[in-house]
Amino acid sequence: MRLGLGIACAKGMNYYETDRALAEYLLFHYGTPEAVLPFDPGPRAALEFPARCVSECLERDRLRPGARALDLGCAVGRATFELARHCARVVGIDWSARLIDAAQRLRRVGTLDFAYADEGDLTLEATARVPVTIDRRRVAFEHGDALNLRGDLGAFDVVLAANLIDRLEDPRRFLARVPALVAPGGQLILTSPYTWLPQYTPREHWLGGFERDGRRVKTLDTLKEILAPNFQLAACRDLPFLIREHARKFQWSVAEASVWNRR
């Protein structure tokens, strides 16, 4: 099966259901370094973001045998597969049926052909491939809402929410559910560039990026306030990432990754 690149983001449509988002995320998660960034010099440290969310943030020594992981807002699932290198069972959940369909196909088949933007209407062909060193049978994907997760998910040894919180309508509601999702001694990995936008998150629900009582409110400080009763902040680091829009246009961002240990 080959996925095309046609309909643009229609007004009012969820961007993550569009052809464009699907192609961008397949390339972002599975593209070779040469396809994503065919220029030298360029921000190479920003490549392979979903894999680095796991390799740079997961505390592998603390995992018990048979560990379970959850990847919320998993998109097309690369970090979900990467978690399966270290965890026996991994669930990836995303609100976009389009992205979850692609992730499920990658789980079943291991590859997915797609077209991505080159210049104007021109596209290039590529194949997304799950690394053959990963056991895909450990992974399951499902369509779901991080703000309304099914009640029987249970508690996980690892919960990853990569670049999700600033795409939620009510991130506090999500964070209120998180303590029940992470087993005692488990790890919560949050990454975000804190790109707060009213079209995703009404201003009254932003966790940072505004002034209150003459004080500049930053997202990490709010996360500390919300999570402190149940979690200890174990590490904080910058995680750059690069999303290629077309051959000569890129989004270079730096997510803040915070790693929290469940008390």
* Footprint on this chain of ligand SAM (rule: CB under 6 A): 16, 28, 50, 73-75, 94-96, 99, 145-147, 162-164, 167-168
State in angstroms the smallest separation of the CB of 133 from ligand SAM.
Answer: 21
Q: Are 91 and 83 in contact (CB under 8 A)?
A: no
Helices H / strands E in the chain, number of each: 7, 12
Shorter beta-carbon distance to ligand SAM: residue 31 or 50: 50
State in angstroms the smallest separation of the CB of 99 from ligand SAM.
Answer: 5
Shorter beta-carbon distance to ligand SAM: residue 36 or 168: 168
Distances, alpha carbon 69 to alpha carbons 57, 82, 141, 248, in Å? 14, 11, 12, 36
Shorter beta-carbon distance to ligand SAM: residue 96 or 261: 96
Listed in sequence order, the DSSP H helices in 41-158 are 49-55, 78-83, 97-109
State in angstroms the smallest separation of the CB of 121 from ligand SAM.
Answer: 25
Shorter beta-carbon distance to ligand SAM: residue 50 or 186: 50
In angstroms, the CA 51 to CA 49 distance is 5
Ranges of beta strands (E only) in 39-195 are 68-72, 89-94, 111-119, 122-129, 139-143, 156-162, 182-192
Report the residue closest to ligand SAM, judged by CB: 73
Shorter beta-carbon distance to ligand SAM: residue 174 or 260: 174
Shorter beta-carbon distance to ligand SAM: residue 168 or 227: 168
CB atoms within 10 A of CB 177: 14
State in angstroms the smallest separation of the CB of 96 from ligand SAM.
Answer: 4
Going by their DSSP bridges, the two strands 182-192 and 249-262 should be labelled as: antiparallel
State in angstroms the smallest separation of the CB of 201 from ligand SAM.
Answer: 10
**Could you identify the residue written with the tokens 């087993």?**
183
State in angstroms the smallest separation of the CB of 213 from ligand SAM.
Answer: 30
